Each structure stands twice: as C-alpha cells, then as structure tokens.
Amino acid sequence: MSAAPISISRHPQLFLDDHLLVRTQNIRRRLLQPRKHPANPVLDGEHPWETRMLQYPVVLHEPERNLFCMWYTAFGEGRLMERGAICYAESKDGLHWQKPMLDLRAFEGRQTTNILLSEPAESCFMSVIKTPHEPDSLYKGLYWHRVKKSWEAQYPDLRANLVTTSTDGIHWQTPEPVIFGKSDNPPSLVWYEPEQKYFAYLRDQAQHPDLFGHIRVTGISESADFENWIEKEMMILTDEDEGYPYTQVHALTATVYGDLLLGMLSVIKLEEEGNNFLGIMNVQLACSRDGRNWHRIADRATFLDIGPESWDRWFVHAGSLLVHNDTIHVYYHGWPVKHGHGRKNKGRTPNPNASRPKGGGIGLATLPADRFVALSLESPGTEAIVETKPLYLSGTNLLLNAEAGQLQIELLDEKGTPIPGFTAATSRLIPRDRLRHRVLWNDRPLGAAPITQPISLRFILRDADLYAFQIE
C-alpha cells in the first residue's frame, strides 16, 4: 500500500524524523553540533542579586527594534541566597549584553535593578513567548515558585507553576498559580498553532525500584486560553537501553520551528549507585508534531556537550533557541561542577567537604539555519537515495539546504515514475545563498512541472549532505 499524501507548508522541511520519508538507501542521519562562542560566557554575575549563579536564559529577537531580549534567573547573596529572581538583559547582536537598571524591584536598599519579578517569595526559570494572535497580552510567561520549609507558613499554597502576561516584556501582571505540585526544574512554554493550544513542559516525578528518591521525568500540561490548564500528564523519554533510571531528562525545552516542535533535552547521567543527584548534564534533541508525542533525534546523540572550558566543564543546560539572519542561536547555562555537587549517600546527606558551588554563566552556541541533522552517505562512494511520501505541492521553486557535491532530484508521479522533463539527469542546482540551492530541470523551475496530483521527491546523493528542502 502506498503512503498517504501529505500537505506541507512553505516552511523548511527538516529530516529530523521519518515523517516525510517513504524510502532511504545508504543513508544515515548525522547530528550537527552548534559551535560554542569563544567569548563565552556571554553573560555572568556582576550584581549582588546574581553573584552566586545565572540560569535558564530565554531569548527572543525583536525585529521591530532590532534587539535581542533575555530573561534569566539570578541567585545571589543575602536575601536571594536561596531565592531566585527573574532578571532582564538586552543586546544588539546577541553576543554583547547590557543589563538596564529599572525601578521595578529593589534589592536590599538598592532601588534600581534589572529584576523584573521576585515574588511572591521568589521567581525561578521563567519561559517567555510572544503571542501576536493575542496582542493585548503579547508576552506570556510561565515560571516556577518553590516553597521551602521556612516559607510554608506565609505561602502554604504556592508550590506551583505560575503564569503572567505583559504588553512589553518588562512590566508583568500579578502572577496566578495554575499547575500545582513539585516542579522545580525549568518549565517550557509554547503556543502551537496547529493544535491551537498552549503546551507547558514541566518536571514530573516517577518511582523506580533501582534508585532511591523521585526520578526526574517530563510532565505535559495544556491550555486553550492560558488560564485553565489540565493536570500534568507524565512522559518518560528515556529507557533502560539508555540507562534509565540513572539517565533522566532534567528538562524539555520546546521551540516552535516551522511545522514542528523542536525540543532540547537537558539529560543528566548519574554516576554513583544509589545517588540520585551526582552526575554530568548535556543536551540532546527531540521533536514532536502534535505537542504530546516526542521522538528522540539521531539515535540520542549529544547536541550540546559539557566543557571544555572551566565555567561549563561538567554541566550544560538548555535555555532557548532562535533563528536570526540564517543562524541558529542556542543559549544555555553552564556550571563548573557536576549536578548534585556536595551530596552523597543516596543524595540525602550533605558532603561536609564540599563548598556551596558558585560560578558558571550563560553561553551562546551557533550553527547554520535548519542544519540540525544531515542526511549523509552511510557508505561513501556508493549512491544514496532519499524518497519522500507523496506531497501536495503548490509553489514556484524548490530550494535545498545542502552541501551539494553531486546531488540530483527528480519528481515522481503517483506510480513512482519520473515525470518527463523533470528527471534526475535533467536536474541541476543553482546557488541561492550561502546555505541553499534552487533546483532547475533543463532551466525550468518546479512551477513549470505538470503537477495535477500529489508527487514525490527523489534525491540521489553521490557526494552531498542534505539538511532540508523548501517549497517557495
């Protein structure tokens, strides 16, 4: 039985999974790693409220102002030693950052700070998105509020994730608790247009007989109106083949990328038997096309690794991802010590010889747009084939994001037969920009093809890497 036709958008079509494919031959998926910037960390602590650590950077680019905006969590000395605050920074280039001093939140007598939120008792790990379909609350935020024993009398019901809105990303409305229970890892918020829903990806907890304590897993909640949220549903993204329960997903950070959701998984790999805290953390990738079902990418290869610099030597955690000027910007926070530093004996007993860790910072890593995964030759020197399912195509040009040495493309009819005049032998690639090529067949573009029904694309690779295609 032939595959059912698929409608595709004008967004780049990535090869992160097999959603578009019906056949491959001599092909392997190769994950590309972003390059860490040599100037890292691009942001570190300098004020009293942020001298212990900075965590979970969320960055948006504002094209109207040609400005990168960052929201991050700071932990400092004194009053904030155990309490977090959401802070704000700006940049013209995404690399050099300024922290505007505002009069929104004071800190121990200092009236101007870059703190945006610090209550009811603290604010941790705010995920920020823009929602142009709701301009009266253009910015939306979701953050975590812990309740420690010393706070319980004053804030008995605020062990929760809170939501808030803003018209400018600076002045935020009074937050409302919406999802209750332990959730002390960074949450992630998206508006996913195909489902017409907000999704929140949060910390959830499982039990396992081989490891004492709560196992870190992912919880999913959703809302149609940003006010009413369903109870978290548990999702376990690791398995025993990967080392579960000693391999756990610490957080899932989701980003809308074209037609799908791209997830950066901050994965902790525990190192000591019975210790549910001590381990290294790096970042892997996953993707989803409905917000609920997630698939690991490229056989769980590491996307963003630890080190080698001292500030992120043992711990890297995903913050956010955006595309600007054909470059993917990945912002993350790093730490010079391992997760759970200073805990032992099943993770419950402090190590008296370990000092309270400080340091780390916020880093930037980049890679070219759409180039997360390459379809490459499994056996060099032998022809490789990638064939899509039937696609509903309506456009003038076919663009390929590729490193194209020898790469040919043909259009196939509903029977899988090459369409006359649009065969591999007549195809050629014309460079469009530094990443993409336009496909022509005897100098004719896709729009000249006699397309009346869904057609398939067949890519024939002899010396090439294929990252994505796009109908323009």
Residue 218's Cα: distance from chain center in Å?
14
Q: Left, alpha or beta for 370 (phi > 0: left; psi -120 to 50: alpha)?
A: left
Q: What is the pLDDT of residues 273-296, one digit of tens each?
A: 999 999 999 999 999 999 999 999
**Spans in the chain with pLDDT lower than 50:** 1, 79-81, 345, 347, 351-354
Retrieve residue 103's tokens.
């009069």
Concatenate the DSSP letters of all residues of 421-467 into one string. Answer: T-SGGGEEEEE-SSSEEEEEETTB-GGGS--SS-BEEEEEEEEEEEE
To the question of domain 35-368 being in CATH 3.40.720.10, the answer is: no
Phi, then psi, of 151 in degrees rounded to 5? -105, -10
Are the CB atoms for 41 and 335 separated by under 8 Å?
A: no
Q: What's the whole-model pTM score?
A: 0.94
Taking domain 6-30+373-471, whether its CATH number is 2.60.120 is answered by: yes
| The predicted structure's pLDDT at residue 60 | 98
Query: Which pair of structure tokens corresponds to residue 414?
Result: 């509903």
As a whole number of Å, the end-to-end CA separation of the chain is 30
Looking at residue 80, its pLDDT comes to: 42
DSSP state of 154: T
Burial of residue 2, with CB atoms counted within 10 A of its CB: 0-12 exposed, 13-18 middle, 19 or more buried: exposed
Contact (Cβ atoms closer than 8 angstroms) between residue 462 and residue 385: no
Query: Which tens digit of pLDDT belongs to each residue from 406-451?
Result: 999 999 999 999 999 999 999 999 999 999 999 999 999 999 999 8
By three-state DSSP, how is residue 366 classified? strand
Kindly report, residue by residue over 84-132, the tens digit of the pLDDT.
899 999 999 999 999 999 999 988 889 999 999 987 767 889 999 999 9
Q: Which of 234, 122, 139, 120 is nearest to 189 (CA)?
A: 139
Count of other CB atoms within 10 angstroms of residue 26: 16
Q: Which residues contact 200 (CB under 8 A, 6 or more apart)?
A: 142, 161, 179, 187, 188, 189, 220, 221, 222, 223, 229
Tokens of 440: 């022509």
Residues facing 428 on adjacent strands: 440
d(CA 175, CA 164): 5
Report the C-alpha gap between 409 and 280 in whole angstroms: 44
150, 109 Cβ separation under 8 angstroms: no
Side-chain half-sphere exposure of 2, counting CA atoms within 13 A: 15
Domain spans of the chain? 6-30+373-471, 35-368
Percentages of the chain per state (helix, strand, coil), in multiples of 5: 5, 50, 45
